Amino acid sequence: MASSKTIALDAMGGDYGPEVVVPGAALSLERHPALQFIFFGVQERIAAALEAHPSLRARSRIVHTDLVIAMDEKPSQALRRGKGTSMWLALDAVKQGQAHASVSAGNTGALMAIAKLLLRPIPGIERPAIAALWPTVRSECIVLDVGANIGATSSQLADFSLMGAAMARAVFHVERPSVGLLNVGTEEVKGNEDVRAAHALLKSAADLPLEYKGFVEGDQIGQGAVDVVVVEGFAGNIALKTAEGTARQIGAYLKGAMTSSLVTKLGALLARGGFTVLKEKMDPRRVNGGTFLGLNGIAVKSHGGTDAYGFASAVDLAYEMADSDLISRLSADVEVFHHKLEGAGLSQNPLSAGSAHGKA
């Protein structure tokens, strides 16, 4: 499609603000020349950063605000006093239809709370989720929820499947993405009630815009067994961070091993092309960007500590999601699915069932 899309950027979010956000946007613009940007934040700092990027400057406008949400601010506090901050304004631009998507490297909890308030969940979706791109030996997959909520009912897990599939269509360009439920085993008796009931729901629902593959285990994520891995947010967040930690741990092992003698050092020097390939494969900036799925608008979250290269990946993601008509397709999918469930008497709306789950 490659149509012109406008991205609203929280220029003050993350550890570095405009000094990373602006060059990040410039990098993404090189890849998607039809992009346009609205930067929200401190006018002088953004303008100064834009000096070095004239072609970006030509496709950008700045909306000034001095107000910023701190990285350690509580979500409740951010909701109370967040109005007028760079994060709030960027999300509001999506709500007002001035931008097709927003990106922020700011405080995750605050971003989640404000995005939910301004963009509202898609009708039928009780809980938005945070989806992460996860590198696999084949390419990438999507894992959700990685921490928006703690716990999920069976119907919420089924909704996550639809949401993840919609994102996979946008990002991987697969019409019927494969979906697996993360569990402690692949037999039907495994897991808790919610997971087993979600399995039954997904298995029985014909004509879903996805290919349901059943249960997958933790070691199958990185093998690329499915395009979308669905899990409630407590285990999902732990899985994501455990994988990140394991990658760092092995990196440390590797460094230690390659500097253990003069000969290994020499060999490592010769093989440095290979290590560069490995480093690129393992580069967390390459797949930077979590997304809040299930809202009436696209809100991408970049890592707070990333650089311009990483921020550009998050902007790319926002662009692809905006360009794929994700939200209207997802809304339609959800409506059809919930309608079918109701028809089949399978609806498990937890609001009516009174199932209690703690929130993150």
Residues that bind its own copies (CB under 8 A): 74, 135-137, 147, 150-151, 182, 184, 189-193, 217-223, 231, 233-235, 237-250, 252-254, 256-261, 263-275, 277-278, 281-282, 357-358, 360
* DSSP structure string for 116-160: HHHH-BPTT-S--EEEEEEE-SSSEEEEE-SSSSS---HHHHHHH
Instruction: Count how many Cα atoms sit within 13 Å of the Cα of residue 12 in the half-sphere of its side chain.
Output: 24
Q: Which residue type is seen at 108?
A: T
Residue 120 main-chain phi, psi, to 5 deg: 60, 145
* DSSP structure string for 3-72: ---EEEEETT-TTTTHHHHHHHHHHHHHH-TT-EEEEEE-HHHHHHHHTT-HHHHHTEEEEE------TT
The b-or-e profile of 116-145 (16+ CB within 10 A means b, else e) is bebbebbebbebbbbbbbbbbeeebbbbbb
**DSSP classification of residue 259:** T
Instruction: Count how many Cα atoms sit within 13 Å of the Cα of residue 231 in the half-sphere of its side chain.
Output: 23
Task: Sort strands 211-216 and 6-10 into parallel, antiparallel or unpaired.
Answer: unpaired
Between CA 97 and CA 262 the distance in angstroms is 60
Q: How far is the CB of 275 from its own copies (least distance, A)?
A: 7
Name which of 11, 6, 7 is nearest 85 in CA terms: 11
Between CA 259 and CA 267 the distance in angstroms is 10
Instruction: Count how many Cα atoms sit within 13 Å of the Cα of residue 211 in the half-sphere of its side chain.
Output: 10
User: In whole angstroms, how large is the CA radius of gyration of the chain?
Assistant: 21
Place of tokens 């979600």: 198
Nearer to its own copies, 118 or 148 (CB): 148
Sheet containing 290-293: order of strands: 60-64, 36-41, 6-10, 101-104, 299-301, 290-293, 129-135, 140-144, 228-230, 178-182, 211-216
